[in-house]
Amino acid sequence: MVALVRGVHGLNGAVRVEVLTDRPDTRFTRGAVLWPEGTTDALTISAAEAIPDGPGWRLRFAEVPDRTAADRLRGVYLEAVARPDDELPRGSYYWHEVIGARVRDLQDREIGVVHDVYRVGEAEVFVVRGDPFGEFDVPAVRAFIRIFAPKRGEIVVDVDALALEPAKPPGPPRPPRTPKTRGLRPRAEPPGDPAPPAVPPGDPAP
- What pLDDT does residue 132 have? 92
| E-assigned strand segments in the chain | 3-9, 14-19, 33-36, 43-50, 57-61, 77-79, 102-104, 110-120, 123-130, 134-139, 145-149, 154-157
- What pLDDT does residue 184 have? 42
The single-letter code of the amino acid at 128 is V
Spell out, as residue ranges, where the chain has pLDDT lower than 50: 180-195, 198, 205
pLDDT digits (tens, 9 = 90+) for 139-191: 999 999 999 988 888 899 999 999 999 887 766 666 665 554 444 444 444 44
Domains and CATH numbers, the chain: 3-79 (2.40.30.60), 95-162 (2.30.30.240)
